[in-house]
Amino acid sequence: MSETLFEGLETQAILSLDPVVTGQVLCVYLDKGVLKDAVKRLDEAGYYIEDVMGVDVAEGFELHYHFCLFQDGPTRITLKVQVPHDDPTVPTISDIYPGAQWHERETRDFYYITFEGIANDSPILLAADMADAAPLRKAEGAHKSYLDLAPPYEILQSEDEHPLIKLAADREQAAKEAAEKAEAERKAAEEAAAKKAAEEAAAKEAEAKEAEA
Amino acid sequence: MTQETVHNEPVVPGFDTGSVEYGDFYTRHFQEGPTENTLILNMGPQHPSTHGVLRIVLELEGEYIVRSEPVLGYIHRMHELMGEVKTASQYLPNMGRVDYLHALAWNWAHVGAVEKLAGIEVDERGELIRILVTELNRISSHLLWWGAYLLDLGAFTPIMYAFDDREEIMDMLQICTGSRLTYCYMRFGGVSHDINDEFVTRLTDFIPYFRKRLPMFKALVTDNIILRKRIEDIGIMDEEMCRRYGATGPVVRGAGVEYDVRRAEPYSLYPEMDFEVPTFPECDAMARYMVRMAEIEQSLKIIEQCLERLPSAAGKHLVKGAPKPTFKPPAGEAYFAVEASKGKVGFGLICDGGAKPYRVKLRAPSFCNLSLFSECAQGVLLADAVAILGSLDLVIPEIDR
C-alpha cells in the first residue's frame, strides 16, 4: 500500500485523498530536509515523475511534486514542501529523477526559487535576462493560506498539533452543523406541509357539511 | 522584484558571462570551453525538422553528438499566469492554443478538472460527443505527425496523402466546433453545440473510406525498406528511461508498457468502450511509429461505438443547469489527466472560491517527452537526432506554454 512507503520518515502529515474528487490518492507534507529520502523511496517503488509545481501561499512557497505508477488505477502521490518567502531554497531531486530538472527550472523561472544542487539552472521558459522576473509570485495581499485551498482529506498520520488536524475538526463541525440545519429545515417544511394539508382537509369538511345542510 | 527585469547582463546565479563575445547566452552557457575536436552547432530555432521554434545546441565530434541541450521558450506565452488572471470560463479558448494539433484533449483536461472540483456530472450524450470528437482529433493529430515526420526524413509524398485525409477531418470538426484548428468546443457540463446530421453522414462515409487508406499507407510507407533502415534501432528509450523522465503516451507504449490514461485513470465513458492499448516492445523510433499507426485504427473503433450509441444516448449535449460564465468553482484542489495524442496531459487546478483560479498548472506531455532527448541523443549521428526528435511528436507551443 502506498501509505507504508513513508514509514520511518519524519513526515509532517500524511493525508488520504479521494481520487474521484481530487485526482490524488495520497498527499504527504514534508520538511525539505526529508524530501530527498521520500523521493528515493518513490524511485525504488517504481514511480515516475509527473511534474513539479509551485504555489505561492501565505505561509510561503508550496512545492507540489506529483508521482504516478505505470499501472491501471489511481496512483497519484503528491509530496508537498513549504519554504518561507524570505528563504526560498529547496534541494533538487533531479539527481534522482533527471526528468525533474526541467520542471524545477520552470518553477525557478516562475517563482525564483533556488533548487540547490541542480546541474543546470539557466532559465528554461523565460528569457535569459528575466531570470528573476518571478511572474507567478502573488502580489502583496493576494495570498491565501494553504489551509483555505486544501481539498477534502482524511489524516492518516501527522505531527501533534498540526494545523490540518484543527482544520479537519472544523470542517467536520461545519458539515455537522450544516446537516443539522438542513435536517431542521426539512422538518419545518414537513410540519408546515402537514399543517397546510390538515387545514385544507378541515375546510373541505366544512364545505361538505354546508352543502349537506 | 517582479517588475525590475531589465538587465544588461544575464543574471543567473553561478554563471559568469565573462568576456566571451560570441554566441548568445545559451550557447555560452552550454559551451564548457574550447576543445580541439568538437564543434558547437545550433540546430534551430529556425530549422525544418524542429517544427516551429525549438532550438537544440549540440556539441559535435565529426557527425556524432557528444552533448546536446534543448533551448526552449521562444513562444512562451505564460498560459499559467493567464489562468490566474482570467475566470475559468474565459480561460477556455486558451486550451486550443496549447497543443493546437490535439486541441480537444486540452479542452477536456480543463473542463474535466473544473468538473471534478465542482462535482459537475455530464450527460451520456455529452460524454459520447466528447469522446467522438476527441478521437477524431487524435486521428488528425497522428496524421499530421505522420506526414511531417516523413517529411523530416526526406519523403515528400506521404504528407500529401496525410493532409488529404486530415482536411476531411478538419472540415467535419468545423461543422460541430466552428473552428478548424484551435477548437474551443467543450464547456463545463458538456459541449457547446450538439452534432448535426451533416456531421454524422460525412463521418459515417469517412470511416470505411479511411479504413481502406490505411493499408495503402502501410504499403507505401510503413513497409518501406528506406524508412525502416532509417528509424529501426534508433532512439532507444526503454521503460526505465521513460520512468525517470516522466515520458508518457506513444513513447512509453513504444517501450512495451501498456499505459494509457484512458485505461489507467478512466474518465468519461472510456471504461465502456471496447478498444486496445497498442504496445510495441522495441523501444526505438519504429516502435513509436507503429504505436501511433495502431492507435489510429483503435480511435476509428471508438468513434464507431460512439456513433452507434448516440441515437439512443440519454440527456443532452450540455447538462441541464450547466455553469454560467459567471460561475465560481469552489475552493479546493483537483488534478485531472487525459490521454492526448502526445501523451498524458495533466491539469492541476487550485481554487480559492473566487471567480479566478488561484493556480493553474499545465502538464505538457511534449515537455516531459523532450526532456529525455539529451540522454538519448548522446553518441548518435546528427541525422539520427532528426529521426529521434520527430519520433517524439513534439508540438512547440505545448512545450513552451
pLDDT 10s digit of each residue in chain B, 401 long? 444 444 444 444 555 555 545 677 787 777 766 567 888 888 878 777 777 788 898 888 888 998 899 999 888 999 999 999 999 899 999 998 998 899 999 999 999 999 988 888 899 999 999 999 999 999 999 999 999 999 888 888 999 999 999 999 999 999 999 999 899 999 998 899 899 999 999 999 999 999 999 999 999 899 889 899 889 889 899 999 999 999 999 999 999 999 999 999 988 899 999 999 999 999 999 999 999 999 999 999 999 999 999 999 888 888 888 888 888 889 899 999 999 999 999 999 999 888 899 999 999 999 999 999 999 998 899 989 989 998 998 899 999 98
- SS3 letters across A36-96: HHHHHHHHHCCCEEEEEEEEEECCEEEEEEEEECCCCCCCCEEEEEEECCCCCEEECCCCC
Query: Does B20 lie at the interface with A, CB-CB under 8 angstroms?
Result: no
Q: What is the pLDDT of residue B175?
A: 92
C-alpha cell at B129: 460527443
Residue B216 belongs to a domain: yes
CB within 8 Å: B6 and A129: yes
Given a cut of 70, is residue A23 above it in pLDDT? yes
**CATH number of the domain to which A23 belongs:** 3.30.460.80
Which positions 317-356 of B are in contact with A (Cβ < 8 Å)?
Answer: 331-337, 344, 346, 348, 350-353
Q: What is the pLDDT of residue B7?
A: 43
Option in A50, A125, A129 nearest B73 (CB):
A125
Residue B54 belongs to a domain: no
Radius of gyration of chain A (CA): 27
Residue B56 belongs to a domain: no
Distance CA B96, CA B27 (A): 33
The number of folded domains in chain A is: 2
**CATH number of the domain to which B266 belongs:** 1.10.645.10
Q: How far is A211 from chain B (nearest CA, A)?
A: 48
Please name the residue of chain B whose CA is at the shortest distance from the CA of residue A122: B12
Query: Does A102 lie at the interface with B, CB-CB under 8 angstroms?
Result: yes
Q: What is the pLDDT of residue B34?
A: 58
Q: How far is A196 from chain B (nearest CA, A)?
A: 31
Please say whether the beta carbons of B394 and B361 come within 8 A.
no
Please name the residue of chain A whose CA is at the shortest distance from the CA of residue B337: A23
CB within 8 Å: A148 and B336: no
Residue B8 belongs to a domain: no
Given a cut of 90, is residue A16 above it in pLDDT? no
Contacts of B34-37 with C-beta under 8 Å, sequence gap 24+, read B37/B61
CB within 8 Å: A66 and B368: no
The number of folded domains in chain B is: 1
Which positions 254-273 of B are in contact with A (Cβ < 8 Å)?
Answer: 257, 259, 263-265
Q: How far is B87 from chain A (nearest CA, A)?
A: 16
CB within 8 Å: A131 and B11: yes
Please name the residue of chain A whose CA is at the shortest distance from the CA of residue B2: A133
Tell me which DSSP letter residue B288 carries. H
Q: In whole angstroms, how far apart are CA B34 and each of B24, B37, B71?
A: 16, 9, 21
- If asked whether residues A16 and A110 sit together in one domain, one would say yes
End-to-end CA distance of chain B: 23
A133 neighbourhood in chain B, CB within 8 Å = 2, 5
Domain boundary, last residue among A114, A130, A159:
A159
C-alpha cell at B31: 559551451
Please name the residue of chain B whose CA is at the shortest distance from the CA of residue A108: B12
Residue B53 belongs to a domain: no
Distance CA A107, CA A113 (A): 7
- If asked whether residues A33 and A120 sit together in one domain, one would say yes
- If asked whether residues A167 and A135 sit together in one domain, one would say no
- If asked whether residues A167 and A112 sit together in one domain, one would say no
CA B94 to chain centre: 15
CB within 8 Å: B80 and A110: yes
Buried/exposed code over B151-162 (b: 16+ C-beta within 10 A; e: otherwise): bbbebeebbebb
Residue B52 belongs to a domain: no
The pLDDT tens digits for A116-173 are 998 888 889 998 888 888 899 988 888 888 888 888 888 888 887 888 788 888 888 8
Residue B18 belongs to a domain: no
CB within 8 Å: B334 and A76: no
ipTM here: 0.86
B14 neighbourhood in chain A, CB within 8 Å = 121
Q: What is the pLDDT of residue B105?
A: 93
A151 neighbourhood in chain B, CB within 8 Å = 332-334
CB within 8 Å: A66 and B12: no
**Domain limits at B353?**
79-400
**Domain limits at A58?**
2-159
Rounded to 10 degrees, the C-alpha dihedral A75/A76/A79/A85 comes to: -170
Q: What is the pLDDT of residue B18?
A: 55
How do strand B55-61 and strand B64-71 relate by DSSP bridges?
Answer: antiparallel
A19 neighbourhood in chain B, CB within 8 Å = 265
Q: What is the pLDDT of residue A91?
A: 94
Option in A48, A132, A136 nearest B243 (CB):
A48
CB within 8 Å: B358 and A149: yes
B25 neighbourhood in chain A, CB within 8 Å = 122, 128
Given a cut of 80, is residue A1 above it in pLDDT? no
CB within 8 Å: A102 and B371: yes
Q: What is the pLDDT of residue B44?
A: 76
C-alpha cell at B102: 490535439
C-alpha cell at B291: 504505436
A20 neighbourhood in chain B, CB within 8 Å = 116
Which positions 76-95 of A are in contact with B (Cβ < 8 Å)?
Answer: 76, 78
Q: In whole angstroms, how far apart are CA A142 and each of A6, A132, A201, B261?
A: 34, 20, 59, 35
Q: Scanning the structure block, which residue is given the C-alpha cell 515526420?
A: B149
Residue B32 belongs to a domain: no
Please name the residue of chain B whose CA is at the shortest distance from the CA of residue A70: B259
- If asked whether residues A141 and A168 sit together in one domain, one would say no
C-alpha cell at A17: 485523498
A72 neighbourhood in chain B, CB within 8 Å = 263-264
Please name the residue of chain B whose CA is at the shortest distance from the CA of residue A21: B116
Please name the residue of chain B whose CA is at the shortest distance from the CA of residue A93: B244
- If asked whether residues A97 and A145 sit together in one domain, one would say yes
Domain boundary, last residue among A114, A139, A159:
A159
Query: Does A174 lie at the interface with B, CB-CB under 8 angstroms?
Result: no
